[in-house]
Chain A
Amino acid sequence: MRLRGLMETAIYHGARLGTEAIRGGVPAKSRTSGASSASSGATAPNAPSEPHRLGPAQSADVFDMRPTEEQALIRDTMRRFAQEILRPAARAADDAASAPPEVLAQAHALGLVGLAVPEALGGVATARSAMTGALIVEDLSWGDMGLAAAILAPLAFIQAIVMWGSADQQARYLPTFLGDRFTPAALALLEPQPLFDPMRPRASAVRSHDGGWELWGEKALVPLASTAEWFAVAANVLGKGARLFIVERGLRGLTIEPETAMGLRAAALGRVRLKGVRVAEDALLGSDAPEEGFDLGDIVDRARVAWGAMAVGSAQAVLDYVVPYTNARVAFGEPISNRQAVAFMIADIAIELEGMRLLVHRAAGRLDRGERVVRQAALARLQCSSKAMKIGSDGVQLLGGHGFIKEHPVERWYRDLRAVGVLEGALLV
């Protein structure tokens, strides 16, 4: 599909620099390699000793509702992609519980990886852009939430590396994603136990007797689990709290099996079990030093904002679907949308949707300015998980019996929207 200015630039830079980095000597991880006891990789020549971070966005101190021109361009592309590529593929992907490789390839060609990676590392990002991320997530989710989760999952892994990775880790992992193929990866926080607190994972990391770490635990509903080349796994380090560890697929002790769920089926969710998985010292994301201040909370908050944006996009899809449907559906001699019960249900959808959207945007804006967001992210999640689910439910209700049948997408949106309020991690803005 035709791509516009910024995206073309992103792709060009990404492809060019990514290719250079790859040729510069970082070995691509083999997908078919046998189990190895510890992951390791040569660092790129002349790798910097300091990691590259993205600084906060500059925004005028004015209350404003308008996206930037750049964001408007990006949205335009995302919306067309969602309409032309994601929507037509959604039903089959849901039935098959996997995303078609050609959709993932086309998504990769949009250049989203470039938007997440700093210029100095081969991408095009010059500042933190949770707001742009939220807009992208919303638009892709409008197309299909399951496919959006599949497309966005590796970006969460990438963002974790950009935000918290050491210089070595950035040099080692990012170039692969900047290459010319979609590289699956996932950020695994969620665990199967009920009333899960993402800040207190049961998964644990203990030091190996011969250096490195041993990882134990279980992660649930991990997107792209069966194909991911790397996972960033949240595990508790005694005395240090929850940290992220980079785990390569194929390691001994790592078992992955499909975990199909109520929705998000196109994201090919899986259960990831770690039984004494041995990883190198430098699999710990970021520095081991306490001064670095790794905060899993920041990851948790960003993921909540991302899931809020997913909720907004899918809820918007519901609204966009039920308006023409109820205007056309005749009962008792007139369109059912002439009746208050129906019309008010739709008005409610519109009101709560806009409220959700504003909550998500406020939290995203605060993230970009480096302001505290714990409360806003929690409120966004609360609001989105309840309102979006009601919207999903009303979407089915408004179509009556037809809403219950897979011929219409509302039943899938009902199933997908329940993920909001369940998933932790997996996506980031």
Chain B
Amino acid sequence: MIHLEIPKRLRPFVAQAHALAENCLRPIARKYDLAEHEYPVELDILGSLLDGVSAGGGSATASRLRSEEPTPGGDGTTQKTDPARNGRNLVAVLGMMELCWGDVGLALTIPRQGLGNAALSAVGTPEQRERFGKRWIAMAITEPNAGSDSAGIRTSARLEGDEWVISGEKIFVTAGERADAVVVWATLDASLGRAAIKSFLVPKGTPGMRVVRLDHKLGIRASDTATIVFDNCRVPKDNILGSPEVNVSKSFAGVMKTFDNTRPIIAAMACGVARAAIERTKQILERVPGWTADMRSPWLGLHAQAELATLEAELEAARLLTLKAAWMADNRLPNSLEASMAKAKAGRMVTDVTLRCVELCGACGYAETELLEKWARDAKILDIFEGTQQIQMLVVARRILGKSSAELR
């Protein structure tokens, strides 16, 4: 039966994640926004907590998402009579909404919860997961001349004996400075396009790998964003994630599949930030004469109240789209379309909501005394990284219209 409420059994988890956000993240949110690049030591404990959670089989973040989990009775289809699964993907999304209600920058820099950890979980061999599973792993894809067109990367990897030799420059690496290792996308042969792109595990300290810059940013300043240069950097042959054979259908798609699961996570981040902004705005505006709590017809009241209700409706739409994408992943339904819909909607929603909330709150929205202006600065990246709004729209449009990437560009 269609039921779009969070089940009772997950509410304690959500409450715990919320308490973490409120007690660990909110109090230090402004501190690390101002002290960009200072390491948030307070998060080490949180990292250990989540290590414990992961070890116990639970999940609060991206690092434990897998798209190919065996299910009981596992022929891959959901029987109509079976109850729907509310599993790791839904839990991860719910957890991330709460953490980012707390602070999205800090949520991105929790030790050992990197995007590289997600990739390792998704496509790493058991041996690789054993070797690298306890490290904090960043993901390095973007280059100065290749962002949305990730198939256009030029960082190269060539096999010399028992080692891969990697050369190139990566930018916008989240946790690039703080992480213990990096998953690096490189091409085995630039003339073969996306089929030749593989990813490689490179531990920090490997000769030939150097963090050369940390970026100063509009928002998520608590999260370090690094430029890493690879200059004939050598790693063991076994450090390639997945198969070394060039295979048109498998290789690129393998790591791209990670994004089917991480897109709902980004959408969840956006929902968390937006909810924080709306809640705080309500608290501030409630004191204004004429404000009526819980109106059935908000458009008949103060303009600001009507506006806030509109923003809340947009958040709710994004939130439900996000939950739907996660639910589909849990129930082993292909969710690429829904994941892109969720990220496209949530990404544009959070920018609009946070900016409008600053405006509605006037001076205290714009000044640094409240976190509202920070949330509006943090929000913007959520519509850009892990696939821009425009890329998500291309994915959605191609699906709806039945177009290939050659037809609809």
Question: A residues touching B (Cβ–Cβ < 8 Å)?
Answer: 57, 59-69, 71, 131, 195, 197-199, 297, 300-301, 319, 323, 326-327, 337-338, 340, 343-344, 346-348, 350-352, 354-356, 358-359, 361-362, 364-366, 374-380, 382-383, 386
Cα-based distance from A301 to B310 in the complex (angstroms): 17
Is B160 part of the contact surface with A, judged by Cβ < 8 Å? no
Pick 11 A–B contacts, CB within 8 A, sort by A: A60-B83, A62-B86, A340-B394, A343-B394, A348-B393, A350-B341, A352-B345, A358-B4, A358-B321, A362-B4, A379-B312
Cα-based distance from A275 to B133 in the complex (angstroms): 79
Query: Using a CB-CB cutoff of 8 Å, which residues 207-264 of chain B contact chain A?
Result: none
Known: A347-B393, A351-B321, A383-B316. 11 other contacts (CB 8 A): A60-B83, A61-B3, A64-B327, A66-B80, A67-B2, A340-B394, A351-B344, A352-B317, A374-B294, A382-B299, A382-B310
Q: Which residues of B contact A63 (CB under 8 A)?
A: 3-7, 84, 86, 90, 323, 327
Top 4 nearest A-B pairs (CB, nearest first) are: A355-B317, A358-B320, A343-B397, A64-B84
Instruction: Check if A356 sits within 8 Å of B294, measured CB to CB.
Output: no
Q: Which residues of A contact B403 (CB under 8 A)?
A: 337-338, 343
Instruction: Check if A327 sits within 8 Å of B310, measured CB to CB.
Output: no
Q: Which residues of A contact B153 (CB under 8 A)?
A: none
Q: Which residues of B contact A351 (CB under 8 A)?
A: 321, 341, 344-345, 396
Distance (Å) between the CB of B404 and the closest chain A CB? 10
Instruction: Check if A327 sits within 8 Å of B294, measured CB to CB.
Output: no
Question: Contact check: which of B2, B86, B341, B407 meets A365 at CB < 8 Å?
Answer: B2
> Looking across the interface, which residue of chain B has its beta carbon closest to that of A376?
B316
Q: Which residues of A contact B2 (CB under 8 A)?
A: 64-67, 71, 131, 361, 364-365
Q: Which residues of B contact A378 (CB under 8 A)?
A: 295-298, 309
Instruction: Check if A382 sits within 8 Å of B321, measured CB to CB.
Output: no
Instruction: Check if B341 sits within 8 Å of A62, measured CB to CB.
Output: no
Distance (Å) between the CB of A44 and the closest chain B CB? 35
Is B314 part of the contact surface with A, judged by Cβ < 8 Å? yes
Q: Which residues of A contact B310 (CB under 8 A)?
A: 382, 386
Binary interface encoding of chain B residues 324-362 relative to chain A, with 1 for a CB under 8 A from any of its CBs, else 0: 100110000000001001001100000000000000000
Question: Contact check: which of A66, A358, A366 meets B84 at CB < 8 Å?
Answer: A66
Question: Contact check: which of A59, A338, A365, A376 meets B408 at CB < 8 Å?
Answer: A338
Given that A67-B1, A362-B320 are known contacts, is A61 also in contact with B400, CB under 8 Å in the complex?
A: no
How many residues of B are counted as interface, with CB atoms below 8 angstroms from the partner's CB atoms? 51
Question: Contact check: which of A69, A354, A364, A376 meets B321 at CB < 8 Å?
Answer: A354
Given that A60-B83, A354-B341, A355-B317 are known contacts, is A344 also in contact with B90, CB under 8 Å in the complex?
A: no
Distance (Å) between the CB of B281 and the closest chain A CB? 16
Q: Which residues of A contact B287 (CB under 8 A)?
A: none
Distance (Å) between the CB of A302 and the closest chain B CB? 12
Q: Which residues of B contact A365 (CB under 8 A)?
A: 2-5
Is B131 part of the contact surface with A, judged by Cβ < 8 Å? no
Is B367 part of the contact surface with A, judged by Cβ < 8 Å? no
Instruction: Check if B309 sits within 8 Å of A382, measured CB to CB.
Output: yes
Distance (Å) between the CB of B268 and the closest chain A CB? 14
Cα-based distance from A197 to B400 in the complex (angstroms): 39
Q: Which residues of B contact A354 (CB under 8 A)?
A: 321, 324, 338, 341
Instruction: Check if A327 sits within 8 Å of B7, measured CB to CB.
Output: no
Distance (Å) between the CB of B203 and the closest chain A CB? 39
Q: Which residues of B contact A64 (CB under 8 A)?
A: 1-3, 83-84, 327
> Looking across the interface, which residue of chain A has its beta carbon closest to that of B338?
A354
Q: Which residues of B contact A355 (CB under 8 A)?
A: 317-318, 320-321, 345
Query: Using a CB-CB cutoff of 8 Å, which residues 370-409 of chain B contact chain A?
Result: 393-394, 396-398, 400-403, 407-409
Distance (Å) between the CB of B84 and the closest chain A CB? 4
Instruction: Check if A198 sits within 8 Å of B1, measured CB to CB.
Output: no
Given that A63-B84, A66-B84, A340-B408 are known contacts, is A361 also in contact with B295, CB under 8 Å in the complex?
A: no
> Looking across the interface, which residue of chain B has its beta carbon closest to that of A421?
B299
Cα-based distance from A362 to B402 in the complex (angstroms): 30
Instruction: Check if A350 sits within 8 Å of B400, measured CB to CB.
Output: yes
Q: Which residues of A contact B49 (CB under 8 A)?
A: none
> Looking across the interface, which residue of chain B has its beta carbon closest to that of A335?
B407
Question: Contact check: which of B294, B300, B393 meets A344 at CB < 8 Å?
Answer: B393
> Looking across the interface, which residue of chain A has its beta carbon closest to that of B401?
A337
Cα-based distance from A379 to B315 in the complex (angstroms): 10
Q: Which residues of B contact A62 (CB under 8 A)?
A: 3, 7, 83-84, 86
Cα-based distance from A181 to B173 in the complex (angstroms): 69
Q: Which residues of B contact A377 (CB under 8 A)?
A: 296
Q: Which residues of A contact B317 (CB under 8 A)?
A: 352, 355-356, 358-359, 383
